Amino acid sequence: MEEFSLLTMIAVFEEMFGIALFWIMVSVAVVITAAWVFVLVRDRSLSFRKYLVAQLSMPFGAVAAVWFVLWITNSGLADIGGPIDWLVLLGVAALGAVGLGILVYVVQSLMRGRQSEV
């Protein structure tokens, strides 16, 4: 690719989703990630119980992300061809899993507030 840079990537994503939606999505991702780091810093530890619930949610995030990508691209699992396709599919699943996992962890932490665990 000619002149492939982060700015090109941003320009392409802005065209793909529209400028407003793209930056709202980026902002939401940044806010959730920052909130996750915030609760880690605030609590000074990773709560195993919250982490376990977050982990349980991850398969749902993975499946939802894969289903969404297949749906918007008019394709199905039968179209997966070479190794790169499997890697991309796993990447999509991993993003969905981690994204939902972080979200669930953050929601638990913020809802319960800072507390000592039993």
Partner 1 sequence: MREFTDLTASRRAFLGLAAGGIAMAAGAGAVQARPVRTNARILILGAGAGGAAIANRLLSRLDGAEITILDGRSQHWYQPGFTLIAAGLRGANYAVSGTGDWLPRGVNWINEYAAGIDPESNSVTTTGGQRLEYDYLIVATGLTLDWEAIEGFDLSLAGPDTGISAHYAGPDYAEASWRALDKFTDAGGVGLFGRPATEMKCAGAPVKICLLAEDIATTKGNRDRCEFVYNAQAPNLFGVPVIHHRVRQIMDERDITYRYSHVLKAIDPGAKTATYATPEGDVTDSWDFINVVPPQRAPQAVRESGLAWADRWTDQGWIEVDMQTLRHARYPNVFGIGDINGVPKGKTAASVKFHLPVVEDHLVSEIAGREGTRMYDGYTSCPLITRVGRAMLVEFDYQDNLTPSFPGVIAPLEELWISWLMKEVALKATYNAMLRGRA
- For position 111 contacting partner 1 by CB under 8 A, the verdict is no
- For position 114 contacting partner 1 by CB under 8 A, the verdict is no
Query: Cβ neighbours of residue 3 under 8 Å, at least 6 residues apart?
Result: none
91, 36 contact by CB (below 8 A): no
Distance CA 72, CA 85 (A): 16
Which listed residue (31, 54, 58, 75) binds partner 1 by CB under 8 A? 75
The H-or-E segment that residue 8 falls in is helix 6-17
- For position 73 contacting partner 1 by CB under 8 A, the verdict is yes
Reduced to 3 states (helix: H, G, I; strand: E, B; else coil), residue 76 is coil
| 91-110 binders of partner 1 (CB under 8 A) | none
Q: How far is the CB of 66 from partner 1 (least distance, A)?
A: 12
| 6-65 binders of partner 1 (CB under 8 A) | 6-8, 11-16, 37, 40-41, 44-49, 51
Distance CA 21, CA 2 (A): 27
Reduced to 3 states (helix: H, G, I; strand: E, B; else coil), residue 116 is coil
> Toward partner 1, which CB reaches closer, 25 or 85?
85
Q: Which residues bind partner 1 (CB under 8 A)?
A: 1-3, 5-8, 11-16, 37, 40-41, 44-49, 51, 69, 72-76, 78-82, 84-85, 88-89, 117-118
